[in-house]
Copies of this chain bind each other. A is one copy, B any other.
Amino acid sequence: MEELITLDYGSGGKKTSRLIGEQILPRFKNAALEALGDGAIVPGGEKLVFSTDSFVVDPLFFPGGDIGKLAVCGTVNDVAMCGGEPRFLSCALLIEEGLPMETLERVLSSVQAACEAAGVQIVTGDTKVVEKGRGDKLYINTAGFGPLRFPGLSPKAIREGDRVLVSGTVGDHGAAVMLARTGMGQDAVRSDCAPLHRMAAALLEADLGVRVLRDPTRGGVATTLNEFIEGTDLGIRLREEDIPVAPPVRAACELLGLEPLYCANEGKLLAVVPPESEQAALALLRSFPEGRAAAAIGTVTAVRPGTLVLRTRLGAGRILQKLTGAQLPRIC
């Protein structure tokens, strides 16, 4: 039977991985792409980090942000997580015919404010308009790059005994967008959408032996941690009681049938650090407003290779796989 692309393929979970692994990597073989970070480190006189993302979030505006802010922060964060200093962005607008000009203006002003806040510049762009019914109001692609400041970050650097840190509460963005989509909740849950490059740079400058950084967007913390240990002989054990979840996010997730560990974040980073750096790294993250709820949430083990296990409050061990299916389509 003819295979059709379903929404699952865009979930950031298992099907997305399969699509990339089967259709994309075999065609475009090169070391930079195969590292499969959210950005690529490319050679040259000065090494650069390069990243791209398309943003298709629905609705365009949600508590805590909008597609414009998201499009800047998402690419800034991807470059930063690869050890780059984000500097220059492209911005390509894909507009559905009939979009009110006022909506476009609001989004562009938000892009502008986000660029100013992050200290990056839009230096090139593109504008396409498609017929009504061939898009959905507005999609934005940003690509971005900047010099590689901190080389060597990689899931391959992770060692047994390392600690897993998260820079704050999990699931805020996913819960905020899903609530906004239902029309419930109003401002009870706000997206965490924020640029993380300054906090990331401070952490990397502090010489704490950080193994890898990643912002757990689509697919959430559980999917990102699975990607870290996939195909390795290491596992990760999370402690449920240590995972910071804001009470309104927990309530929203229960209402909507979501698991916060699979909910997208847009202003949080995961860091894996050696055990001796745990306290210093936490203190450093907490010194930033965007990291004040930072927590150590798990440990790297050699007990169950390739497996992410959540030790629940009741003491049971629950295996968390990569996101399967489209829990949250068009979350970013």
Is A183 among interface residues, defined by CB-CB distance under 8 A?
no
Q: Which residues of chain B have C-beta atoms less than 8 A from A122's C-beta?
A: 28, 30, 33
Number of this chain's copies in the assembly equals 2
Tell me the chain A residues, 316-332 only, with Cβ under 8 Å from chain B.
326, 329-330
Asked if A124 and B32 sit within 8 Å, CB to CB, the answer is yes
In angstroms, Cα B320 to Cα A48, docked, is: 43
In angstroms, Cα B100 to Cα A124, docked, is: 33
Asked if A24 and B98 sit within 8 Å, CB to CB, the answer is no
Q: Which of A49-57, A157-165, A261-269, A303-311 contacts B (4 or more CB under 8 A)?
A: A49-57
Q: Which residues of chain B have C-beta atoms less than 8 A from A2's C-beta?
A: 100-102
C-beta contact mask, A49-87 vs B, less than 8 Å → 1, else 0?
011111010000000000000000000000000000001
Q: Which residues of chain B have C-beta atoms less than 8 A from A131's C-beta?
A: 7, 329-330
Asked if B54 and A97 sit within 8 Å, CB to CB, the answer is no
Q: Which residues of chain B have C-beta atoms less than 8 A from A124's C-beta?
A: 32-33, 38-40, 50-52
Interface residues of A: mostly helix, strand, loop or mixed?
A: mixed
In angstroms, Cα B124 to Cα A50, docked, is: 7
* Most chain B Cβ neighbours within 10 Å, of A4, A39, A115, A123: A123
Tell me the chain A residues, 253-294 only, with Cβ under 8 Å from chain B.
none
User: Smallest CB-CB separation from A33: which chain B residue?
Assistant: B123
Is A213 among interface residues, defined by CB-CB distance under 8 A?
no
User: Which residue from B27, B46, B95, B98 sits with its C-beta under 8 Å from A109?
Assistant: B27
Asked if A92 and B141 sit within 8 Å, CB to CB, the answer is yes
Interface residues of A, CB < 8 Å — how many? 79
Asked if A24 and B108 sit within 8 Å, CB to CB, the answer is yes
* Most chain B Cβ neighbours within 10 Å, of A3, A93, A123, A124: A124
Q: What's the minimum C-beta distance from A164 to chain B, rounded to whole angstroms? A: 25
Q: Which residues of chain B have C-beta atoms less than 8 A from A141's C-beta?
A: 52, 54, 92, 94, 126, 141, 143
Asked if B54 and A121 sit within 8 Å, CB to CB, the answer is no
* Most chain B Cβ neighbours within 10 Å, of A33, A88, A141, A330: A141
Asked if B44 and A143 sit within 8 Å, CB to CB, the answer is no
Is A251 among interface residues, defined by CB-CB distance under 8 A?
no
Q: Which residues of chain B have C-beta atoms less than 8 A from A3's C-beta?
A: 100-102
Is A129 among interface residues, defined by CB-CB distance under 8 A?
yes
User: Which residue from B20, B105, B128 sits with its C-beta under 8 Å from A127?
Assistant: B20
